[in-house]
Amino acid sequence: MGEQLHGRNIAIVGGDEREQEIARLAAQSGARVKAYGFPWPDDGIKGVEHTASAAQALNGANFALFPIPGIAKDGTLFAPASPQVILPNIELLSVMAPGGTIILGLADENLKKAAGTLGIELSEYELDTELMLRRAPAIIEGALSQIISSTRITIHNSDVLIVGYGNIGRLLAKTLVLLGARVHVAARNPVQRADAFSAGCTPHELDEIIVVAPLVSILISTVPAEIISEGVLKALPPNSLVMDLSAPPGGIDLAKAKELGHTAVWARGLGRSAPITVGASQWSGIEKRLISIEQRRKNEG
């Protein structure tokens, strides 16, 4: 179905090793692909132009692909390998082709404002259930690796609190139960709490987190909101593991957690633990969006 993208200009800006696979597959679709801001392989990527700046990659782009980890609190794109900070403001985005589209995990208010001013469409897929579930196994594997490397106890027979029971929280909770952990789940939705109970977890309402905290040695949040208060962090046993799996800007004050003596881990971007698998799954969802947008515009025109 990629023939509908033939000749279109796609810029892939920011990200990590996953974007290598996304770029490779985008080029195979027949699109003209330019890339900047993610780790570039020594042998290059067939059909993809590696530019010297984000502006060069975005110049004339019909579509810009930004990473799922998205935008930090300071408004910059997730691009740990970039030699330059990438700030998607009006000046940078103005070089895109008229009527262009940015596809990313989630946009912040500044990006929404800049895109609106320029008439650029935003397509967010952080909440795309199908796509998230396809990449979820790699995220869970990455989370398990982080837990193992950041603790001096086994997952088996440990006490864990997971805050949030969306796509990732649900799969992580079930996996930890299978590994022999005693898993507590705090969720707002009563149906989610019932589902957690049926999976062998102990469910709690959000206002019970402070009560459960002293009973666990691992706390994992998947909610991008400040539900974990300083009081909760103080209530945890000494030297607990505090892990934030949520989307930017995150939901835990990790600096405060470290100050209190806990091991604090920001575990966003775990899909890079299996970049080929996750990159391919992300592209499958992105490609569907690109083609849908192209078809809609054709019908409108």
Residue-wise pLDDT for 65-100, tens only, equals 999 877 887 899 989 889 999 999 999 999 999 999
- Looking at residue 136, its pLDDT comes to 84
pLDDT at 109 over 60: yes
d(CA 203, CA 218): 16
* pLDDT band for position 269 (cuts 50, 70, 90): low
- Looking at residue 300, its pLDDT comes to 83
- Looking at residue 87, its pLDDT comes to 96
- Looking at residue 65, its pLDDT comes to 97
pLDDT at 1 over 60: no
Place of tokens 């409108």: 300
The number of beta carbons lying within 10 Å of the beta carbon of residue 44 is 11
The pTM score is 0.73
- Looking at residue 85, its pLDDT comes to 94
Question: Which domains, ranges and CATH numbers included, belong to the chain?
Answer: 2-127+274-300 (3.40.50.720), 155-268 (3.40.50.720)
What distances in angstroms separate CA 181 from CA 178, 218, 238, 251, one per listed residue? 7, 10, 19, 23
Q: What is the mean pLDDT of residues 113-134?
A: 89
Q: At 125, is the secondary structure helix, strand, or coil?
A: coil
The number of beta carbons lying within 10 Å of the beta carbon of residue 202 is 16
d(CA 246, CA 282): 18
* pLDDT band for position 273 (cuts 50, 70, 90): low
Q: Is 9 exposed, middle or buried (0-12, 13-18, 19+ CB in 10 A)?
A: buried
